[in-house]
Amino acid sequence: MNFYGSLSVFPRLPMKIKGLKQLAYNLWWSWNQEAEDLFKMIDAKKWKESGRNPVSFLSKVDYQRLQKVSQQQAFINKYNQVMNHFNDYLQQEETWFKDNAPISIEEDNVIAYFSTEFGFHDSLPIYSGGLGVLAGDHCKSASDLGLPFVGIGLLYHNGYFKQKINGEGWQESLYPELHFSQLPITPVKDELGEELTINVKLLDREVMVKVWEVKVGRVSIYLLDTNLQENSKDDRKITAQLYGGDQETRILQEIILGVGGTKALYKMEYSPIVWHMNEGHSVYLELERIRKLIKEEELSFNQAIEVVGANTVFTTHTPVPAGNETFPFDLKEKYFASYWEDIGLTKEEFMDLGQIYEDDDEFCLTVLGLKLAKFSNGVSKLHGKIASKMWQDIWEEVPPNENPITYITNGIHTRTWLASEWEELFDEYLPANWRMKIKDRNIWENIREIPNDKFWHTHRKLKSKMIDNIRKRDLERKRRYQDITAVKDILDKGALTIGFARRFATYKRATLVFNNLERLNKICNKTDKEVQLVFAGKAHPADKPGKKLIKKIHDIAESKEFKGKIVLLEDYDMNLARYLIQGVDVWLNNPRRPLEASGTSGQKSAINGGLNLSIFDGWWCEGYNEKNGWVIGSKERLKYTDKEEQDLIDSNSLYTLLEEMIVPLYYNTNDKDLPADWINWMKEAMISIIPKYSTDRMVQEYTKRLYMPATIKGIKAKKDNYNISKNLVSWKEKLKNNWEDIEITSQNQGEQGTFNITDMIRFTVKVSLGELSPDDIQIELYLVTENGKEKIDIISMDLKKELENNKYVYSTDIKLKEIGSYKYTFRIVPNEDRLTNKHELGLVKWIK
């Protein structure tokens, strides 16, 4: 049947508590326990049944019930308290951003953050894993810090799949239809009160896109939806599933996200000051912005990319080339042929934007992102390094450690992941304003003052809550395929419990701990020192090796030796994640290094006192301090002959740590029956990790190091009717055209040989600049340690003398502060004062 329209009915609320509607439609409630408690007070059973989704919940509770609670003083008191906190938060005048923004900006100026997935809460299932949860946490902190910020994503009407694991251990995927009227989303209206839509051109047709809004504290997230009457059956399915469909679906989703998202922002009359692309899925936003500038401002293509790049930030998350999305040229041509004509490029010039080498056979979104954005970053220190190396050939002559890819280490939204039981304890022992000072390490030192018995009691309570939840889930799953009569409880609430939950991508090596089952058996089944493991995670439905990992865990969990000690849980999502990271003693993470760009689940566990047992990879390289967890394998990056060897070495290290360090530490209790040393480690984990790995710290870094410089560059790029950008483009062209002909012709270092530590050493070079002038370039002395690995310093040299024929003498005097052997060389680079990054052109002329 073809329905003519749709409508949704929101329940009537008693006058006295009518604010519940606004509360239900703002995800602020999800990181404020008191707000969740308020919903629970109305009807705890229905709250659970509704999947802890306040919109759906309010539509299910009886009106009588609502009326009854609105007459109860206790409820009204709580209601007033929550609503006051909520309104204070929304109206707060003084924010971190206000205190720290170097320039004042207009109302419609926002940082526009694009992401293909957002994980805000399990009741809005438009995320698959770490990338989405990170995006959600980023938005929450942007709200807490008062950033002028909006998010743009897609609204998938089947969301991400729900996972079942059958009796044989095979994953099955379900795609339930989401009921939009039951989600905390509202259609955006235009000035006439009509639902706002935009059109996106795909081949010869226009696809209509509806825009929905989600409120996350003070910020809005706009989600795009093609499932409309006006569209063809196929086009309605474009936004059906996250990471579903084939490659063509992906390209269509990405066009809707990038091109549609940009159009939607303009239609809503935003003028973004920064465009942030969280991973490559949204890179087409740059193409849309370029097209618009060419058409409306009559810029050339090169001028347009100068303007667009100036305020674009690109974050890459993928440390292997194969993990970066690419498309075959014919598919690209199908959807972009009309586009490159529009912007005056040839097919070759266009394809070149997504290629590094001439013989690349696919178009890579990351390459496009990195080539156009002036600001780019990886997501941990190690990943920044790996990404710089991986993409070094985009900036040909530039040493990888100097190329424009920087890093900002991921964090988590503390209050989303911290158990409310800990919050209560912190209210008692920490300064009252700790929620506003997450980044302040001194605040957290107070955790040491919490008495050990109270501290341990809190952890045990959370662990017990987790195990109850696991038992319930396990039973539900097994009842589907087993005839369970006599229920024997799985897991022991007193035993050392290890958690492993994440996407089942093969590089994460979910089954590494099973490398030697005999040894694991001894560890798990030692009398009075038992160890148990809990697993959860989804494999992408097309990932066969990932599904095999799940099957293997299922089989081992069913075996005699491990029954009740190893548990596999279904349908890992943010809700299950919260139980696990708050309840386990140890969080296991054993990826194949260096493939975990950052990882964040270990941070979630640590802030709840979980001890990380992890490969030295991603964030753990920075987080580990020898007393807050353990490192599996080596801290050095070793070369292995093959993967099996690497697995063997890492798994042996894992067993040894368990046998010799972890199990003894956990079971070493004092006369009060408390594991005092273990508790000290837990406290150390919290103190060292809470302040550093919060998205508060992360978003502040993004703001100071990327958003604000990008804002300033963006304003400058438009100035003077784009003349600054136009001049910059001509200057860049002059540089490129003449770069071949410049050189350093001779060098002379005053004295040769050995120096004393106090000696001033003079370096002099002669350069020939051809058609360029000293204003165009700078000459640098490049100094490294003898082995050539460590860059010591790059020193800009001074112009000393002009010779005939555009030749010049440059020199510098330096003192070396440390004894040792050094190597040096000289180079010419573009004058960095005119650029965002002195290497953005990839031009470096080294002395021959």
376, containing H or E segment: strand 375-378
Q: Is the dihedral of CA 15, 187, 9, 174 positive or negative?
A: negative
Which CB atom, from 575 or from 825, has the smaller least distance to ligand PLP?
575
Q: How far is the CB of 118 from ligand PLP (least distance, A)?
A: 12
Residue 157, CA distances (Å) to 26, 30, 590 in order: 20, 22, 34
Using CB under 6 A, which of the segments 227-235, 315-323, 594-602, 728-736 binds ligand PLP?
594-602
Check: CB of residue 731 under 8 Å from CB of residue 766: no
Contacts of 301 (CB under 8 A, 6+ apart): 290, 294, 343, 344, 345
Q: What is the 8-class DSSP label of residue 507?
A: G
Q: What's the CA gap between 491 and 485, in Å, rounded?
A: 18
Backbone dihedral angles phi then psi of residue 699, each to the nearest 5 degrees: -70, -35
Q: How far is the CB of 159 from ligand PLP (least distance, A)?
A: 13
Using CB under 6 A, which of the segments 85-93, 162-170, 595-603, 717-725 binds ligand PLP?
595-603
Q: How many helices (H) and strands (E) does the chain have?
A: 31, 28
Supply 511's token pair.
């089954």
The one among 304, 430, 524, 577 contacting ligand PLP by CB under 6 A:
577
Which CB atom, from 351 or from 553, has the smaller least distance to ligand PLP?
553
Give the count of beta carbons closer than 10 Å to the beta carbon of residue 394: 17
Binding of ligand PLP at residue 319 (CB under 6 A)? no
Q: How far is the CB of 631 from ligand PLP (least distance, A)?
A: 16
Q: How far is the CB of 577 from ligand PLP (least distance, A)?
A: 4
Q: How far is the CB of 139 from ligand PLP (least distance, A)?
A: 15
Which CB atom, from 132 or from 244, has the smaller least distance to ligand PLP?
132
Q: How far is the CB of 507 from ligand PLP (least distance, A)?
A: 11
The 3 state secondary structure assigned to 536-593 is ECCCCCCCHHHHHHHHHHHHHHHCHHHCCCEEEECCCCHHHHHHHHHHCCEEEECCCC
Dihedral in degrees, nearest 10, Cα atoms 113, 114, 117, 120: 20
Which CB atom, from 130 or from 260, has the smaller least distance to ligand PLP?
130
Which CB atom, from 502 or from 692, has the smaller least distance to ligand PLP?
502
Share of the chain residues as helix, strand and coil, in percent rounded to the nearest 5: 45, 20, 35
Q: What is the 8-class DSSP label of residue 26?
A: B
Q: How far is the CB of 513 from ligand PLP (least distance, A)?
A: 16
Binding of ligand PLP at residue 129 (CB under 6 A)? yes
Binding mask 602-641 for ligand PLP (x = CB under 6 A): x-x-------------------------------------
Closest alpha carbon to 383 in 440, 311, 323, 439: 323
Using CB under 6 A, which of the segments 73-81, 177-185, 274-282, 598-606 binds ligand PLP?
598-606
The 3 state secondary structure assigned to 643-708 is HHHHHHHHHHHHHHHHHHHHHHHHHCCCCCCCCHHHHHHHHHHHHHHCCCCEHHHHHHHHHHHHHH
Give the count of beta carbons closer than 10 Å to the beta carbon of residue 548: 17
**Hey, which residues between 241 and 260 contact ligand PLP (CB under 6 A)?**
none
Q: What's the CA gap between 686 and 171, in Å, rounded?
A: 35
Which CB atom, from 477 or from 604, has the smaller least distance to ligand PLP?
604
Give the count of beta carbons closer than 10 Å to the beta carbon of residue 205: 11
Q: How far is the CB of 422 from ligand PLP (least distance, A)?
A: 17
Which CB atom, from 133 or from 841, has the smaller least distance to ligand PLP?
133
**Hey, which residues between 699 and 758 contact ligand PLP (CB under 6 A)?**
none
Using CB under 6 A, which of the segments 563-571, 601-609, 751-759, 804-812 binds ligand PLP?
601-609
Which CB atom, from 236 or from 547, has the smaller least distance to ligand PLP?
547
Q: How far is the CB of 602 from ligand PLP (least distance, A)?
A: 6
DSSP states along 262-330: HHHHHHTT---SEEEEESGGGTHHHHHHHHHHHHHH---HHHHHHHHHHTEEEE----SGGGS-EEEHH
Which CB atom, from 225 or from 596, has the smaller least distance to ligand PLP?
596
Using CB under 6 A, which of the segments 30-38, 491-499, 599-607, 738-746 binds ligand PLP?
599-607
Using CB under 6 A, which of the segments 448-456, 509-517, 573-581, 814-822 binds ligand PLP?
573-581
Q: What's the CA gap between 679 and 459, in Å, rounded?
A: 10
Give the count of beta carbons closer than 10 Å to the beta carbon of residue 47: 21
The one among 82, 111, 133, 549 contacting ligand PLP by CB under 6 A:
133
Which CB atom, from 462 or from 797, has the smaller least distance to ligand PLP?
462
Supply 190's token pair.
């235009």
Q: How far is the CB of 574 from ligand PLP (least distance, A)?
A: 5
Binding of ligand PLP at residue 599 (CB under 6 A)? yes
Q: How far is the CB of 290 from ligand PLP (least distance, A)?
A: 33
364, containing H or E segment: strand 362-364
Which CB atom, from 140 or from 332, has the smaller least distance to ligand PLP?
140
**Hey, which residues between 137 and 176 contact ligand PLP (CB under 6 A)?**
none
The one among 601, 608, 651, 703 contacting ligand PLP by CB under 6 A:
601
Check: CB of residue 685 under 8 Å from CB of residue 610: yes
The one among 56, 600, 646, 836 contacting ligand PLP by CB under 6 A:
600
Which CB atom, from 129 or from 261, has the smaller least distance to ligand PLP?
129
Q: How far is the CB of 591 from ligand PLP (least distance, A)?
A: 8
Using CB under 6 A, which of the segments 268-276, 329-337, 356-364, 600-608 binds ligand PLP?
600-608
Which CB atom, from 153 or from 599, has the smaller least distance to ligand PLP?
599
Chain-centroid distance, C-alpha 213: 21
Cβ density class 493-532: b for 16+ within 10 Å, e for less: eebbbbbbbbbbbbebbbbbbbbeeebbeebbeeeeebbb
The one among 573, 585, 617, 696 contacting ligand PLP by CB under 6 A:
573
Q: Is the dihedral of CA 367, 373, 378, 379 positive or negative?
A: negative
Closest alpha carbon to 362 in 318, 335, 327, 337: 327
Binding of ligand PLP at residue 317 (CB under 6 A)? no
Residue 158, CA distances (Å) to 173, 178, 180, 444 in order: 12, 6, 10, 42
Which CB atom, from 402 or from 617, has the smaller least distance to ligand PLP?
617
Binding of ligand PLP at residue 574 (CB under 6 A)? yes
How many residues in the shown chain lie near ligand PLP by CB under 6 A? 13
Q: How far is the CB of 539 from ligand PLP (least distance, A)?
A: 13
Binding of ligand PLP at residue 502 (CB under 6 A)? yes
Binding of ligand PLP at residue 414 (CB under 6 A)? no
Which CB atom, from 602 or from 610, has the smaller least distance to ligand PLP?
602
Q: How far is the CB of 502 from ligand PLP (least distance, A)?
A: 3
Describe the crossing of helices 420-429 and 452-481 by its angle, rounded to 10 degrees: 170
Using CB under 6 A, which of the segments 104-112, 125-133, 388-396, 751-759 binds ligand PLP?
125-133
Which CB atom, from 289 or from 502, has the smaller least distance to ligand PLP?
502
Which CB atom, from 27 or from 398, has the smaller least distance to ligand PLP?
27
Which CB atom, from 577 or from 615, has the smaller least distance to ligand PLP?
577
Number of Cα atoms under 13 Å in the Cβ half of residue 245:
20
Check: CB of residue 297 under 8 Å from CB of residue 303: no
Q: Which residues bind ligand PLP (CB under 6 A)?
A: 129-130, 133, 502, 572-574, 577, 599-602, 604
